[in-house]
């Protein structure tokens, strides 16, 4: 069976980490496969939202250490990392640059790389039994997959330091209180709750949703004046789109819009 399952239902694609017997730990082939599937979904105009989840009781327990220590594993030779990261095949970087919104359906534990992967998604819906484990410093490493960039922006400096330096494990309710997840539901409701979010995104004008994601991403490193000018320039082509006309007409006619992404 494929270690990354891909399913499409309507405008929503679901990517499932599929190594339940190994708590969905990530191998080198899985990294490349996940990135490839993400890029393919992002380039497909028929996909407007992507759900990422895990099979079984864990979301992702991190990198597969046996694989990482092998000559052909993640490290390409016994934990000796390559001098330069291939950003095109590294899922957190792919997720950061995608325009299609991503939702993490956090079905269980997310540790190490798994935590960074979950945080790299735009929205997180967590099962009540889910946890995030920032165990990096307890393993002698740092959050190498985006955590040191994401956590200070999400939580502020002091809270990020407290979690990372102490190698904390956070339950779902604590994650919700901190703002690391958007919603917590019972595990048997996770699929439906995540799909509801995805469907609501997919019902909106896809060009506008994607542009909004690009603008928020660029705002992370821009000043206010620079950013508002960029947003204004982004708005001009949207005003000429068929989707804008449909949204405007639907509002006047008091009906639900039907967007075609044009």
The CA distance from 129 to 117, in Å, is 18
Do 16 and 131 sit in the same domain of this protein? Answer: yes
Residue 66 lies in a domain: yes
Instruction: Report the pLDDT value the prediction gives residue 70, as an integer from 0 to 100.
Output: 62
Do 58 and 94 sit in the same domain of this protein? Answer: yes
Mutual angle of helices 224-239 and 242-252, in 10-degree steps: 80
Residue 57: name the closest of 17, 91, 28, 30 by CA: 17
Instruction: Report the pLDDT value the prediction gives residue 257, as an integer from 0 to 100.
Output: 94
Do 198 and 140 sit in the same domain of this protein? Answer: yes
Do 181 and 215 sit in the same domain of this protein? Answer: no
Number of domains, the chain: 2
| CATH label of the domain that carries residue 217 | 1.10.12
The CA distance from 218 to 210, in Å, is 12
Average pLDDT of the residues of the chain:
91
What is the band of 79 on the pLDDT scale with cuts at 50, 70, 90?
Answer: very low
pLDDT digits (tens, 9 = 90+) for 227-242: 999 999 999 999 999 9
The CA distance from 59 to 119, in Å, is 12
| CATH label of the domain that carries residue 181 | 3.90.226.10
**126 vs 73: which has the higher pLDDT:** 126
The CA distance from 70 to 59, in Å, is 23
| Full domain range(s) for residue 73 | 4-202
- Please state the rounded mean pLDDT for residues 51-73: 82
Contact call for residues 218 and 227 (beta carbons, < 8 A)? yes
Instruction: Report the pLDDT value the prediction gives residue 85, as an integer from 0 to 100.
Output: 63
Task: Please give the model's pTM, rounded to 2 decimal places.
Answer: 0.91
4 - beta bridge partners? Answer: 17
Contact call for residues 180 and 124 (beta carbons, < 8 A)? yes
Do 181 and 233 sit in the same domain of this protein? Answer: no
Centroid of chain to Cα 6: 15
Answer with the one of 161, 186, 202 that is the final residue of a domain: 202
Do 248 and 182 sit in the same domain of this protein? Answer: no
pLDDT digits (tens, 9 = 90+) for 183-209: 999 999 999 999 999 999 999 999 999
Instruction: Report the pLDDT value the prediction gives residue 78, as an integer from 0 to 100.
Output: 46
The CA distance from 70 to 65, in Å, is 9
Do 84 and 146 sit in the same domain of this protein? Answer: yes
Centroid of chain to Cα 91: 9
Residue 259 lies in a domain: no
Answer with the one of 180, 202, 224 that is the final residue of a domain: 202
- pLDDT over 50 (residue 150): yes
pLDDT digits (tens, 9 = 90+) for 85-137: 666 778 999 999 999 999 999 999 999 999 999 999 999 999 999 999 999 88
What is the band of 1 on the pLDDT scale with cuts at 50, 70, 90?
Answer: low
Residue with the two structure tokens 């990261």: 85
Strands 183-185 and 58-60: unpaired
The CA distance from 184 to 170, in Å, is 13
pLDDT digits (tens, 9 = 90+) for 31-40: 889 999 999 9
Instruction: Report the pLDDT value the prediction gives residue 28, as an integer from 0 to 100.
Output: 84
Residue 161 lies in a domain: yes
Do 134 and 243 sit in the same domain of this protein? Answer: no
The CA distance from 184 to 198, in Å, is 16
What is the band of 262 on the pLDDT scale with cuts at 50, 70, 90?
Answer: very high
> First vs last Cα of the chain: how many Å apart?
37
């Amino acid at each position: 069976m494929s270690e990354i399952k891909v399913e499409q239902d309507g405008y929503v694609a679901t990517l499932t980490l599929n190594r339940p017997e190994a708590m969905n730990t990530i191998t080198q082939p899985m990294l490349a496969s996940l990135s490839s599937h993400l890029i393919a979904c992002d380039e497909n105009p028929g996909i407007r939202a992507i759900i990422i989840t895990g099979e079984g009781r864990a979301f992702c327990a991190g990198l597969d250490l046996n694989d990482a220590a092998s000559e052909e594993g993640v490290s390409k030779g016994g934990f000796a990392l390559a001098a330069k990261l291939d950003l095109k095949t590294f899922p957190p970087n792919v997720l950061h640059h995608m325009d299609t919104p991503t939702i993490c359906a956090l079905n269980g534990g997310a540790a190490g790389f798994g935590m960074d992967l979950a945080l790299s998604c735009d929205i997180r819906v967590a099962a009540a039994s889910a946890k995030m484990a920032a165990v990096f410093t307890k393993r002698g490493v740092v959050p190498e997959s985006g955590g040191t960039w994401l956590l200070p922006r999400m939580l502020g400096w002091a809270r990020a330091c407290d979690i990372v330096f102490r190698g904390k494990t956070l339950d779902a309710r604590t994650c919700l209180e901190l703002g690391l997840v958007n919603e917590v539901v019972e595990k048997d409701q996770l699929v439906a709750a995540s799909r509801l979010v995805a469907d609501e995104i997919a019902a909106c004008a896809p060009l506008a949703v994607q542009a909004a994601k690009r603008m928020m991403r660029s705002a992370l490193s821009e000043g206010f004046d620079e950013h508002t000018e960029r947003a204004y320039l982004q708005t001009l082509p949207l005003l000429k789109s068929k989707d804008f006309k449909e949204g405007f007409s639907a509002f006047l006619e008091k009906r639900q819009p039907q967007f075609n992404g044009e």
